[in-house]
Amino acid sequence: MKIISYNVNGIRAAIKKGMLDWLQSANPDVICIQETKAQQDQVDAEVIKSAGYPYQYWFSAQKKGYSGVAIFCKQEPNHIEYGTGIETMDFEGRNIRVDFDEVSVMSMYLPSGTNKLRLDFKFNYMDEIQEYLNNLNKEIPNLVICGDYNICHEAIDIHNPKMKGVSGFLPEERAWISNFIDTGFIDSFRHLNKEPHHYSWWSYRANSRANNKGWRIDYNMVSAPLKENISRAFILPDAKHSDHCPIGLELQF
């Protein structure tokens, strides 16, 4: 199974930039989208279907043009879970999950901590989603939690490790990722790739992408029982429909 996660920073804009042609070429079995910034009826389902994805599931924010997640699949899943049932996070459309026989795949979009109010919201989300996933993992041991976590884990994951006072690389955020992994998840990319200078997001400022001054804040986290199934994990920086790039995972069953 080939899974790709992609924060598209507005799916309508990404489609205009050729995202669906790229998607056909990349050809994942499942693609997890974050930051759709759209309601389902604002996007032509037929053009996504024509790219090879007849099964399209959306969980949009109540606020139009904001946040939102989606998952597109080649094959029909057994079950779709919209949101988490936790009201404090679900109104922003940050979680959707599809369940297959061998694995369940979630598209997750953690908040960014752009100011004090949003940072408090982010920390609350982090606490609540961790508890939710701890319980979910008891029920469904084979989980892949894809998405934009808005956190760099280690110094190797950011072009300038001195940025310790900036949300996304705060000690508390980094510790949360460490704890997340310690609860039984594997950072699939780092599991197979130890080299520096691999990033998934670049600021639009100061020609950051051309100079590869980026952050690795997107992850395909794989639950421990699937460790031996991880055959490939990769980042696709040449896909340029967003300020993020897609990240991929292949599981062999």
Tell me the per-residue pLDDT of 226-252, one tens digit each, with 9 for 90 and over: 999 999 999 999 999 999 999 999 999
Instruction: List, for residues 18-72, the tens digit of each pLDDT value.
Output: 999 999 999 999 999 999 999 999 999 999 999 999 999 999 999 999 999 999 9
Closest CA to 180 of 149, 141, 148: 149
Give the residue numbers annotated as catalytic, written as ranges.
Answer: 148
| 195 pLDDT tier (thresholds 50, 70, 90) | very high
Q: For residue range 146-170, what is the model confidence (pLDDT) as tens digits?
A: 999 999 999 999 999 999 899 999 9
End-to-end CA distance of the chain: 8
Indicate which CATH number applies to the domain containing 246: 3.60.10.10
Our count of domains for the chain comes to: 1
Mean pLDDT of the chain: 97
For residue 206, what are the domain limits? Answer: 2-251
